[in-house]
Structure 1
Amino acid sequence: MKCVVKFCSPVLTVYEGVKSFYKEEDETLPVNMYGKSKVAAEKFIVEKCSNYAILRSSIIYGPQTVSPVAKSLPIQWMDSVLSQGQQVEFFNDEFRCPVYVKDMVNVILSLAKTWLSDGKKVQVLLNVGGPDRVSRLQMAESVATVHGYNHNTIKSVSASSVNRGVASPSDISMDITKLTQMLSIKPISFQDGVRATFDAEAS
């Protein structure tokens, strides 16, 4: 079977939370059906396609799109609930590497330009995350810091305190060394990304 898959973004592999900063070659240990479907998609693409770029991402955040999406965006949701001044619970033991949307776009554009200019087949699997490993709690604290909200309204809780009906990995933080070396792209810090999000929406 011959096919060309330029970009499959994001293809997120969900790991069992037994370590931090997973590398692309680390074993995938999905804990739920969502994760298993992503692993299956990666396997299919690698086996069946001769030209592909698989980009593994975590939480993609940034300003609202030109055509607003119906789903609540992470930073905007945190800002909304924290602005009300009431206590809100955030998990202190689920870790991700959120990536600013413009960094994700830059990665895709860089790969596309390389593919178009060289005319060679691309076969690459990359972690595309931000440089910071942060919990939901730390994300909320950054939003509060940037917008000057009272940190006392942020309550630290364990993810095990809430039954979400499906298993969720505790740590899917990603090592992005391969990304930065291959494309010379350094994603911005989470807090700087939060500032950029609010600045973009205010302009």
Structure 2
Amino acid sequence: MKKILVTGSNGLLGQKITEKVLAEGRVKLIASSVGANRYPLKEGYEYAEMDILNPEKVKAVIERYCPDAVIHTAAMTNVDTCEENKTLCRQLNVEAVATLLSICEEKNIQLIHLSTDFVFDGKNGPYKEEDAVNPVSYYGKSKVMAEELIKDSKANYAILRTILVYGISHDMSRSNIVLWAKGALEKASPINVVNDQWRMPTLAEDLAEACLLAVEHHARGIYHISGKDYMSIAGLVRKVANYWKLDQSYINEISSVSLNQKAKRPVKTGFVLNKAIKDLGYNPHSFEEGLLILEQQMRVSPES
């Protein structure tokens, strides 16, 4: 049985990988993140406190556990914060990757690296893996820089690009668009939603499964991983409202320009998923199926 080390295990994707490993037992897991373990179940895996900005600590943890693969989920993902604090963004999204990469190269450890649809400019989506990157934000640029480092290395790697991940986890440090829209509409709070950006939202469970499939299939290269349904952001929010029978009159559709955000967003992304389906057996849920899974989880653990 393979041993995997996951960075950023306190985050949404990290927790979903832990959840999946505990339920299915396909690999041995070492979860790692900054600070204490926020996942409520503490048995069936090991936890190592690890700051990815501390190269000595990263090396010590990896040498202690000797994993077969590292799934690198930790990153700075707030697009506007990345634009405002480029130094920290580069440290977290590029320099930390360089640290992991050198260790994985040296010890022949497979690196599964999470990237984003924001490496593209959004003019010609949905995108295939081989399409040219052209980021319009510093966040996107930082992820391209990390991808280039990885591709230029001698490491055994797979880069999994994903889109607009949603789901529910324990003690969440940040929300996502589905939970935000549901929460606001339940409180009858008016919300502004852009109607000129298109995405393929990704259920966190599907992305966690793709990470494990990439390890199991010895995946090499770039893979596009997302949900299968293509929709505008406004359309997504209206689907959320429909599913939970919430009042759509509180949804105010606006253009991206009127938001005046620090960082530009690509207009139309989306992915062609054929490679992941063929090579990895990836089989994502529909958006409606994802909402049903969320609803079931909220019934079991409403405080999550």
Relative to the length of structure 2, the TM-score reads 0.61
Q: Is the 8 A contact 1:11 1:42 kept in 2?
A: no
The 2-side partners of 1:50 and 1:75 are apart by 36
Deviation at 1:13, TM superposition (A): 4.2
Q: Secondary structure at the match of 1:31?
A: coil
The 2-side partners of 1:11 and 1:166 are apart by 15
Aligned match of 2:283: 186
Q: Secondary structure at the match of 1:48?
A: coil
Aligned match of 2:270: 173
Deviation at 1:155, TM superposition (A): 1.7
Q: Deviations over 1:79-105 (max 9, x none)?
A: 111112243221111111111111111
* Residue number among 22, 35, 40 corresponding to 2:127 in the alignment: 22
Deviation at 1:172, TM superposition (A): 1.8
Q: Deviations over 1:115-155 (max 9, x none)?
A: 3xxxxxx4221011111122211111111111101222212
State the percentage of identical aligned residues. Answer: 26
Aligned match of 2:160: 55
Q: Is the 8 A contact 2:198 2:268 kept in 1?
A: yes
Q: Is the 8 A contact 1:13 1:56 kept in 2?
A: no
Q: Check if 1:157 corresponds to 2:254.
A: yes
Q: Deviations over 1:7-34 (max 9, x none)?
A: 1124554211211211000010111111
Q: Check if 1:84 corresponds to 2:187.
A: yes
Between Structure 1 and Structure 2, how many residues are aligned?
A: 195
Aligned match of 2:172: 69
Deviation at 1:114, TM superposition (A): 2.5
Relative to the length of structure 1, the TM-score reads 0.89
Q: Secondary structure at the match of 2:217?
A: helix
Structure 2, unpaired ranges of 5+: 1-101
Q: Is the 8 A contact 2:117 2:270 kept in 1?
A: no
Aligned match of 1:105: 208
Q: Secondary structure at the match of 1:7?
A: strand
Q: Is the 8 A contact 1:50 1:123 kept in 2?
A: no
Q: Secondary structure at the match of 1:132?
A: coil
Structure 1, unpaired ranges of 5+: 116-121
Q: Check if 1:9 corresponds to 2:114.
A: yes
Cα 1:49/1:194, change in 2 over 3 Å: farther
Aligned match of 2:144: 39
Q: Is the 8 A contact 1:87 1:154 kept in 2?
A: yes
Aligned match of 2:245: 148
Q: Secondary structure at the match of 1:81?
A: helix
The 1-side partners of 2:147 and 2:115 are apart by 11
- Cα-Cα RMSD: 1.7
* Residue number among 94, 99, 107 corresponding to 2:197 in the alignment: 94
Q: Secondary structure at the match of 2:193?
A: strand
Q: Is the 8 A contact 1:107 1:185 kept in 2?
A: yes
Q: Is the 8 A contact 1:11 1:54 kept in 2?
A: no
The 1-side partners of 2:197 and 2:246 are apart by 22
Aligned match of 1:201: 298
